[in-house]
Amino acid sequence: MNRSFDLQKIIRPNIKKLVPYHSAREDFGEGLLLDANENSLGTPFPDDQQLHRYPDPKQTKLRDLIAEWRGVRTQNVFTGVGSDEGIDLLYRIFCGPGQDRVLTTPPTYGMYNVSANIHDISVDQVLLDEEGFQLPVDQILETVKPNTKMLFLCSPNNPTGNTFATEDIRTLIKEFQGIVILDEAYIDFSNRESWAPKVVDYPNLVVLQTLSKSFGLAGIRLGITYAQEEIIDYMMKVKAPYNINKLTAEKAIKGLQNWETVQFRVDAIKKERKQLKDKLEQLKMVQHVYESEANFLLTKFTDAQMVYKQLADQDIIIRYRGNQPHCKNCLRITVGTPDENERLISALKKLGS
């Protein structure tokens, strides 16, 4: 338990007194619905799925299912338009533009910094250890300033693929007086337990997950935030009233109902990850393939620029990460199907050298 964490102290004053948008329907529910200026004649096509009606602003059915699936309570679950919306809302709730700061630990996901720039928030960066990409806990805590509101941790980390030591994550949650945002976008590909159920024990812990990776539903844009109830309440107040559309909610529910298929696919990708790693390691142009608990492999080449360009010439697109700290000559390769990985490997072999 973080003894001196005080949520009220770190919420922006304008958010604390915000009166959220309210629809008349929330008070009455079903009936003759002439309150929202929807089109009474329906959609322009026959199979309308009630799309002429606004969606549920609270996403109750979807959030109930997520809660049940992860072993948490619905009050601790927020659903947004990708993880991006969760990140954006947390900035808006906790960080005063031009005043507050956040801390990130590169090499990591770029969106935390982009969002900071959008909100005019300064970013302090503490690099992960070069050996093993772990968290330099003492250095992070020393870098925290009185106006550092949020600390972003990504585990498994993108682009490095490793998870952080549990004890380090715990220490940071306990010692940091602001919000620790733990991004678990790749948690289902790892052997670690999710921290999501722990949000009831740690009032400053916020966990991000997404249906974009393990569920294979990047196209529907559904991200999940877990946090103590009061933080979720603020997120519900600040979000756009109808942020999750009906089509997305419906597909997300179907996805959760097919969790066994998802797990089966995740297992297949983990096996393929191992195979791909073995094959990459046999190539002379490959210096190192980092251990990964995600669905990609950070791979160090002798000349990453050259490999990147020549693969692109053959319409094989991977991600150049050589500009990231500690990632010189590194490319990030998403684990594909066995066929796709075979194509990649044979293309690399043809590059020779």
Ligand X SMILES: *Cc1c(COP(=O)(O)O)cnc(C)c1O
Give the interface with ligand X as residue ranges (CB under 6 A).
Answer: 82-84, 109, 154, 158, 183, 185, 210, 212-213, 218, 223
**β-sheet with 122-125: strand ranges across:** 77-80, 223-226, 205-210, 179-183, 148-154, 101-104, 122-125
Q: Whole-number minimum distance, CB 80 to ligand X, in Å?
A: 8
Amino acid at site 13: P
Q: Whole-number minimum distance, CB 210 to ligand X, in Å?
A: 3
Residues, the chain: 353
Closer CB to ligand X, residue 11 or residue 151?
Answer: 151
Closer CB to ligand X, residue 54 or residue 152?
Answer: 152
Write down the residue that tokens 């740690």 correspond to.
202
- What angle, rounded to 10 degrees, do the helices at 304-313 and 338-351 form? 120
Q: Whole-number minimum distance, CB 338 to ligand X, in Å?
A: 23
The two tokens of residue 183 are 């991004």
Cα angle 150, 153, 159 (rounded to 5 degrees) comes to 135
Q: Whole-number minimum distance, CB 302 to ligand X, in Å?
A: 26
Q: Whole-number minimum distance, CB 270 to ligand X, in Å?
A: 17
Residue 343: count other Cβ atoms within 10 Å of its Cβ: 15
Read off the DSSP letter of residue 189.
G
Which residues face 154 on adjacent strands?
183
* DSSP strand pairing (296-301 vs 319-320): unpaired
**Cα distances (Å, whole numbers) of residue 79 to 84, 148, 172, 189, 210:** 11, 26, 25, 21, 9
Closer CB to ligand X, residue 20 or residue 110?
Answer: 110
- What angle, rounded to 10 degrees, do the helices at 60-70 and 246-257 form? 30
Closer CB to ligand X, residue 11 or residue 294?
Answer: 294
Closer CB to ligand X, residue 108 or residue 228?
Answer: 108
Closer CB to ligand X, residue 150 or residue 154?
Answer: 154
The two tokens of residue 235 are 């997120």
Q: Residue 168's closest CA among 109, 159, 157?
A: 157
Closest residue to ligand X, based on beta-carbon distance: 82
Closer CB to ligand X, residue 277 or residue 332?
Answer: 332
Q: Whole-number minimum distance, CB 50 to ligand X, in Å?
A: 26
Contact 340, 296 (CB under 8 A): no
Residue 210: count other Cβ atoms within 10 Å of its Cβ: 24
Q: Whole-number minimum distance, CB 158 to ligand X, in Å?
A: 4
Q: Whole-number minimum distance, CB 196 to ligand X, in Å?
A: 15
Closer CB to ligand X, residue 163 or residue 279?
Answer: 163
